[in-house]
Structure 1
Amino acid sequence: MIAPALDMLRTAGLILLRRGWLMALIYAVGAAAQFGLLQVVGRIGAYDAVAGMLLLPLPILARLTALVGMLLVVRGELEYLGRLAPLPTDRRERRAALGRALLGGIVPFMAFYLTWGYLAGDVADYANIALLERERVDFEAFAEHMNSGSTEEFAPRDWGFIAGDLPLGPVAIGILVVAFSLRWALGRWGQRFGAWGTIAKIYLEALWVLITALTVADLVELLTAWVDGRLGMVWLRDVTGWIAEFLAPVAWAWESLLWLIEQIGLVLLEPAAWLAIAGTIYGQAVKAQAPELSGRYVDRWKRLDGTIKRWLSEVWNQVAGRFTPIWNAVVLAWRAGPVLIAAYAFLNTLTAPLEPYLSRFAIGLVGPHDEAFWRVWAPLLSAVPSMVVQTVLITLAAAAYDSALEARALRDAAAAGPALPENAPMPANTPPRPRLPGATEPLLLPAGAPLPPGVPVPPSNPDGIGQPHG
């Protein structure tokens, strides 16, 4: 029971010892690329909102590329995953694996990015950079106007839209439809474009997923505001206030239950999200068995025309297939056993809050300096703790995924029962296997496969076991 958890700790320690410096370097390069791209995109978005929206996926892709790189460089340290899927040796195969990892990781990464507020932070930084760019342009125009000695009143530039405002609405829906259609077309016919086709698919995938995430978040905010203003919600708040005033124990129990659910979610959801991202990128998550469906609508689906069915199936796979790896990772975690997942969640929960404490330690280690020093070095000192914490979190996710694969395999093997040793005698009353004429070894065939011509049919029940007695 505890062996997979200990194996996870051993694997994580080896990864940090052997690859930790490289993971930290990749993270630093990705963070620098994200910061630089966000500066460029924000300045462009100050002048054109649509162009800013079209370029906004690039900083997020820089972060995702760094994450994928960190997970891929540790694959050589994952023993069980290496046995299931050996590392590609050809350079072209490695590039193709990187492209597949990026494409597969966009949806779970964007869901994680949106849920934990990273996307909102990037959008706020984008808007702030666009606003600063406009202020710079307006100030330079004002200075030029004053230096010209003109007696006319200065009129600031009419920008036409709010700085940092993303055009969510018909324009965004149109961009989403075009991006998804082009992504589908490239997925079907884009092999001829090689590496450039893969880059285009990655960008288009990130674009339509980002617009979908922003649109859904905006709709949820509007719906929440609408529900809060309804008369029923006002009545519910009054009832809640009355319960809190006159039935304090009930209100206390309810608040405690909500707090407990929130804490459990915080403890389990973030580790599960990291594990889902790792499972998607490694691409070896356990395949969940689809349930057998039946009923009137299933019968109608089976009678549907082949061309229409094929087209609808392809569209469904384009959408639902992106969420399958997330479900596979959930199934893998469930089947790996509670001890491993509890140990992983515990270590993740201990590591994630360390960033502010490491920042204080780094600042205290440097000591007091003047304002000019902190203006230059404060961003770097604040980035180092994040680099350390993220490296440890990704290491834990990779090690937990590898240990979960091994634990799942061990559980499946135990459920299947003990295997017979090599050259062991067959149990009594076992029907003989078919043999080719003149052969010394039995013929191994898949279950239900027909016998080749000329092979005699063995008796199916030579001893009459299970036959009714007269």
Structure 2
Amino acid sequence: MLTLLSSTWRVLAGHWPALVAWYLAGYLVHFGLIQLAGWVGAYTGTGGLLLLPLAILARLIAFVAMFLVVRDGLRELQAIAPVPQAAAERRETFLNTLLASILPFFAVYAAWGMLQDDVIAYDFRALQVRSDISWQAIANQTEAPTGGVGSNLTLDAVTGVLIIVAFAGRWAWKKWPKKLPAVFSVVAVYLEAVWVLLSIIVIKDALEAVNGWVDTRVGIQWALDFREWVSAQLVPVAWVWDGLEWFIGQLAGLVVEPLAWLAIAGVIYGQAIAAEKPKLDIALYKRARTHAEKVPTLLRRMLGQLGAEFASRFTPIVDAVVLMWRAGPLLIGTFILLYTIVLAGDTTLSYLVTRVIGPQSRVDFWLVVNDALTLALALVIEPIRISVVAGAYDTSLGALRRHRMVEAATTPTGGHGSTENLMNEG
């Protein structure tokens, strides 16, 4: 607990102005790009959706920069992989970190409803601009733009082509980075964001459609009716069951978010040091390898390259999860508690501000200052939250290093090499 608090305070005290500056920059650029995407989307829905990933990338770049700017305050990480001194090496580190972070960040962004908020803001702006254009066209007796406005996506030919082209461009940069112009590295980041975002939106809409279909099935209704009948017959059991459902829901709400952000921190810092990877030394895996060796060499190579391309996006996440697992429940539980306290502080500050301001008109006051107040509170809370996550990662890394040192001291063979691998990574 004290180590985690000390690490968090060291990070926050030494980097608070930079954390505030990066968060503010990301917020403002994100807002501006949403407005621009909505304006373009009023004329062409495809063009607007191709600009929308840039808005989310602005938030991601800000968060990646916030985590990297505090890196020199993370003692355990610095002991293994110091901050690069050369500007070219720092740029390469930032680019690789950004590419590795897109998939987990966009997934968290969508899961917590932030993507939905962006889509709603984009749709609102596009409809607003389209309405103004239509009224102006009526007044001038000119032709108004036609075509759909909004972000509703289905896996049609256009969406499929966009996803395939973006993924292929990103793959080409990864395969031939030296043969392509240097500016293409920036394009590769954008292409990665495009195919990930469009895939997430399509998958989300498809899952909602499947859930809607399942909910209307007769078998589901029978199961619900049977549960109600059992609840009526066994009231104490129903009370216990409902209590367990409530407890699990509350526990998941408290645990999942901080662990997701700790995993993102692990992906970001994992570009400098790789956490210990899980070993797939199980019978099912061995049988799969045996059958795979019977596949023709050319086909096996092609499938292996495709599988490696997808697996490379999930490997950093697995590494981060393994690091959390090795850190132990006490440390992770302490981090979750501290993270929850920070979130409670956000709610408390918001409550106090509204009580200090007092009753005001919703139209004349709150619609004008609400966004500014929300931003002001975020500028206070977000640097603390990032410091907590970064401090927890560094503390987890320190716990893992000490654990390996103990193993090296007590194991006659093999332990020393494991410690050396950790110390020499990065």
Q: Same fold (TM over 0.5)?
A: yes
Partner Cα distance (1:365, 1:408) in 2: 46
The partner residue of 1:26 within 16, 22, 31 is: 22
In the alignment, which residue of structure 1 is the partner of 2:422? Answer: none
In the alignment, which residue of structure 1 is the partner of 2:311? Answer: 320
What's the offset of the Cα at 1:410? 1.0
User: Following superposition of structure 1 onto structure 2, how do residues 401-412 of structure 1 map, counting pairs within 5 Å?
Assistant: 401-412=393-404
Partner Cα distance (1:273, 1:157) in 2: 45
Give the secondary structure class of the aligned counterpart of 1:160: coil
* Structure of greater relative contact order (alpha carbons < 8 Å, 6+ residues apart): 2
The partner residue of 1:182 within 150, 155, 169 is: 169
Distance 1:285 1:273, change over 3 A: farther
What's the offset of the Cα at 1:364? 4.6
8 Å contact 2:71–2:78 — kept in the other structure?
yes
Moved more, 41-50 or 395-404: 41-50
Amino acid at match of 1:325: P
Check if 1:253 corresponds to 2:265: no
Moved more, 259-268 or 104-113: 259-268
In the alignment, which residue of structure 2 is the partner of 1:63? Answer: 59
The partner residue of 1:119 within 101, 115, 119 is: 115
The partner residue of 1:74 within 70, 80, 84 is: 70
In the alignment, which residue of structure 1 is the partner of 2:33? Answer: 37
8 Å contact 1:44–1:51 — kept in the other structure?
yes
8 Å contact 1:191–1:197 — kept in the other structure?
no
What's the offset of the Cα at 1:129? 0.9
Amino acid at match of 2:379: M
What's the offset of the Cα at 1:194? 5.1
In the alignment, which residue of structure 2 is the partner of 1:463? Answer: none
Partner Cα distance (2:157, 2:232) in 1: 47
In the alignment, which residue of structure 2 is the partner of 1:361? Answer: 352
Richer in helix (by share) = 2
In the alignment, which residue of structure 2 is the partner of 1:228? Answer: 215
Partner Cα distance (2:260, 2:64) in 1: 14
What TM-score, normalized to structure 1?
0.81
User: Following superposition of structure 1 onto structure 2, how do residues 337-352 of structure 1 map, counting pairs within 5 Å?
Assistant: 337-352=328-343
8 Å contact 1:363–1:381 — kept in the other structure?
no
Distance 1:360 1:293, change over 3 A: closer
Amino acid at match of 1:334: W
Give the secondary structure class of the aligned counterpart of 2:275: coil
Give the secondary structure class of the aligned counterpart of 1:66: helix
Amino acid at match of 1:215: V
What's the offset of the Cα at 1:156? 8.5
In the alignment, which residue of structure 1 is the partner of 2:387? Answer: 395
User: Following superposition of structure 1 onto structure 2, how do residues 186-201 of structure 1 map, counting pairs within 5 Å?
Assistant: 186-193=173-180, 195-201=182-188
- List per-residue Cα deviations over 1:379-415 (Å, max 9, x = no partner): 2111111232222221111100011011011112223
Amino acid at match of 1:9: L
8 Å contact 1:46–1:164 — kept in the other structure?
no
8 Å contact 2:277–2:322 — kept in the other structure?
yes
8 Å contact 1:12–1:395 — kept in the other structure?
yes
Amino acid at match of 1:85: A
Give the secondary structure class of the aligned counterpart of 2:30: helix
What's the offset of the Cα at 1:293? 5.4
What's the offset of the Cα at 1:265? 1.2
What's the offset of the Cα at 1:166? 3.6
Amino acid at match of 1:384: A
The partner residue of 2:146 within 159, 181, 190 is: 159
What's the offset of the Cα at 1:375? 5.2
The partner residue of 1:298 within 277, 289, 296 is: 289
What's the offset of the Cα at 1:418? 5.1
Check if 1:48 corresponds to 2:44: yes
Amino acid at match of 2:337: F
Check if 1:219 corresponds to 2:211: no
User: Following superposition of structure 1 onto structure 2, how do residues 1-16 of structure 1 map, counting pairs within 5 Å?
Assistant: 5-16=1-12
Partner Cα distance (1:12, 1:32) in 2: 26
Distance 1:240 1:156, change over 3 A: farther
Specify every segment of 5 or more residues in structure 1 that has no aligned partner in the other structure, as ranges: 146-154, 421-445, 447-470
What TM-score, normalized to structure 2?
0.89
Partner Cα distance (1:326, 1:255) in 2: 33
Partner Cα distance (1:22, 1:364) in 2: 30
Amino acid at match of 2:374: S
In the alignment, which residue of structure 2 is the partner of 1:336? Answer: 327
Check if 1:288 corresponds to 2:265: no
8 Å contact 2:154–2:205 — kept in the other structure?
no
What's the offset of the Cα at 1:297? 3.9
In the alignment, which residue of structure 2 is the partner of 1:461? Answer: none
Amino acid at match of 2:120: A
Specify every segment of 5 or more residues in structure 2 that has no aligned partner in the other structure, as ranges: 418-426
Partner Cα distance (2:235, 2:126) in 1: 50
8 Å contact 1:276–1:329 — kept in the other structure?
yes
What's the offset of the Cα at 1:164? 4.0
RMSD value over aligned CA atoms? 2.3
Give the secondary structure class of the aligned counterpart of 1:82: helix
Identity level (%): 36
Distance 1:237 1:186, change over 3 A: same
8 Å contact 2:126–2:149 — kept in the other structure?
no
In the alignment, which residue of structure 1 is the partner of 2:423? Answer: none
What's the offset of the Cα at 1:312? 1.9
Partner Cα distance (1:205, 1:74) in 2: 26
Distance 1:157 1:240, change over 3 A: farther
8 Å contact 2:43–2:145 — kept in the other structure?
no
What's the offset of the Cα at 1:301? 2.1
Point out the structure with max Rg over C-alpha.
Answer: 1
